[in-house]
Copies of this chain bind each other. A is one copy, B any other.
Amino acid sequence: MYPKQFEALVDCFQHLSGVGLKTAERYAFEALEWDDEQIHRFMQGLDGIKDIHHCSKCGHLSDEDLCDICKNSDRDQSVICVVQQSKDVVAMEKTHEYHGVYHVLGGVISTSKGILPEDLNIDKLIQRVDQESVKEVILATNPTVEGETTALYLSKLLENKPVEITRIAHGLPMGGHLDYADEMTLIKALEGRKKM
């Protein structure tokens, strides 16, 4: 009942997960209001996708062979922070507190989703530990069942290498309230307690 071109655009927006017909229609109606420049910019944005690769070293998104972090000689190349996805790199970078480099796994081991260790960017991590002078590997996968499993798997894999393996701390989030925290978080917060 809409013109064909409009239906086509609605259909495109519906390809985004979590976007149903109503939302896709809303997006398409908004797009109708855009000026030529905005449309052109969006088309170029989509066109640019093919220029986005994964860093050949760490797996983070990059428009060149090596990402900006791996190329940066000011970063401590002897500390590798292992994360699940590129988003996590960006989250860590926002702290401005971490000066090492990263390794992006591209996911976590998940038997329910059929993701096995060989589907992840693990071989290259081992290679890096073997070939570069790495002192520490920080396992920073999410504190979920799958993230913990993956961290455990990696720690076993690396245990005989001359490298320190650490796991990010679990506990109460800053600004959090004890009575709103789940039991697992409280247990981890207790276990991880430190002398003041």
Q: Per DSSP, are chain A's interface residues mostly helix, strand or loop, or mixed? A: helix
B1 touches A45 (CB 8 A): no
> What's the interface size class on A, roughly?
35 or more
B61 touches A9 (CB 8 A): no
B3 touches A62 (CB 8 A): yes
Question: Is the C-beta of A98 less than 8 angstroms from some C-beta in chain B?
Answer: no
A17 partner residues in chain B, CB cutoff 8 A: 26, 30
A9 partner residues in chain B, CB cutoff 8 A: 45-46, 48-49
Among residues 7 to 46 in chain A, which have CB atoms less than 8 Å away from a CB atom of chain B?
8-9, 11-12, 15-18, 25-27, 29-32, 34, 36, 38-39, 41-46
A49 touches B61 (CB 8 A): no
Among residues 124 to 138 in chain A, which have CB atoms less than 8 Å away from a CB atom of chain B?
none
Stoichiometry, copies per complex: 2
A90 touches B49 (CB 8 A): no
Among residues 86 to 105 in chain A, which have CB atoms less than 8 Å away from a CB atom of chain B?
86-87, 89-90, 93-94
From B1, B6, B29, B87, give the contact of A25 (CB < 8 A).
Answer: B87
- Spell out A's residues near B (CB within 8 Å): 1-6, 8-9, 11-12, 15-18, 25-27, 29-32, 34, 36, 38-39, 41-52, 61-63, 67-68, 85-87, 89-90, 93-94
